[in-house]
Structure 1
Amino acid sequence: MDIATLIGLVGAFGLVVTSIFMGGNAAGFVDIPSIVIVIGGTFAVAFVMFPLGVVIRTIKVGLKTLLFKSNDPQEIIRLITSLAETARRESLVALEKVNIEDQFLKKGVMLVVDGSSEGLVRSVMEIELEFMKQRHRQGQAVFKGMGAMAPAFGMIGTLIGLVNMLSNLSDPSSIGPAMAVALLTTFYGAIMANVVFLPLATKLEERSAEDALFMQIMIEGVSSLQRGDHPTIVKEKLQAFLSPAIREG
Structure 2
Amino acid sequence: MDFASLVGIISGLILIISAILIGGNADIFINVPGMMIVVGGTMAATLLTVQFRDVMNAFKGAYIVFTQDKTNPSEMIDTMIKLSKISHRHGLLKLGEVKTDSAVLHRACMLLCEAASEQVIRNTLQNEIDSLMARHFSVQDVFRKMAAYAPAFGMLGTLIGLIQMLSELDNPESIGPAMAVALLTTFYGSLLATMVFLPIAGKLKARTLLEVTNLEIIREGSISILTNDHYAHVYEQLSSYLPERARKPILNKKPPVTQGVKK
Q: TM-score range by the shorter chain?
A: over 0.9
CA offset digits 1:2-33 (Å, max 9, x no partner): 11112112211221111001011110000111
Structure 1 counterpart of 2:75, one-letter code: E
1:236 correspondence with 2:233? no
Q: Distance in 2 between matches of 1:122 and 1:213?
A: 15
Structure 2 unpaired stretches of 5+: 249-263
CA-CA distance at 1:147 after TM superposition: 0.3
1:77 corresponds in structure 2 to: 77
In the TM superposition, what are the counterparts of 1:22-33 in structure 2 within 5 Å?
A: 22-33=22-33
Aligned 8 A contact 2:80 2:221 in 1: yes
Give how far 1:54 is off: 0.9
Say what the alpha-carbon RMSD is for the aligned residues: 1.3
Partner of 1:48: 48
Kindly provide the amino acid, as one letter, of the partner of residue 128 in structure 2.
E
Check whether the contact 2:95–2:112 (CA below 8 A) recurs between aligned residues.
no
SS of corresponding position for 2:69: coil
**Counterpart mapping for 1:79-158 below 5 A:** 79-158=79-158
Q: Which has the larger displacement, 51-60 or 94-103?
A: 94-103
How much has 1:173 moved relative to structure 2? 4.4
CA-to-aligned-CA distance 1:59-98 (integer Å, 9 cap, x gap): 1111222222321222211111111111101111111122
Relative to the length of structure 2, the TM-score reads: 0.90
- Which whole-Å deviations, capped at 9, do the CAs of 1:85-144 have from their partners, x for residues lacking one? 111011111111222221101101101111211101110110110111111111111111
Secondary structure of the structure 2 residue equivalent to 1:116 = coil
CA distance in 1, matches of 2:197, 2:246: 30
CA shift, 1:159, in A, is 1.2
CA distance in structure 2 between the aligned counterparts of 1:28 and 1:178, rounded to whole angstroms: 13
> Which residue matches 1:192?
192
**1:39 corresponding residue in structure 2:** 39
Deviates more, 1:118-127 or 1:94-103: 94-103
**Deviation string for 1:202-233 (max 9, x for gaps)?**
11111111111000000001101111100111
Instruction: Using the TM superposition, give the Cα deviation of residue 155 of structure 1 relative to its aligned residue in structure 2, in angstroms.
Output: 0.8
Point out the more displaced range, 4-13 or 19-28.
Answer: 4-13
CA distance in structure 1 between the aligned counterparts of 2:55 and 2:187, rounded to whole angstroms: 24
> Counting helix residues as a fraction of each chain, which structure ranks higher?
1
CA distance in 2, matches of 1:204, 1:54: 15
Q: C-alpha separation between the residues in 2 aligned to 1:49 and 1:245?
A: 45
Distance 2:153 2:116 in 1: 54
What TM-score, normalized to structure 1? 0.95
Matched residues, percent identical? 39
2:203 partner letter? K
Q: Which has the larger radius of gyration?
A: 2
Letter in 2 for 1:23: G
Which amino acid is 1:224 matched to? S
Please identify, of 160-169 and 53-62, the stretch whose mean Cα deviation from structure 2 is larger: 160-169
Equivalenced residue count is 248
Secondary structure in structure 2 of the residue aligned to 1:70: coil
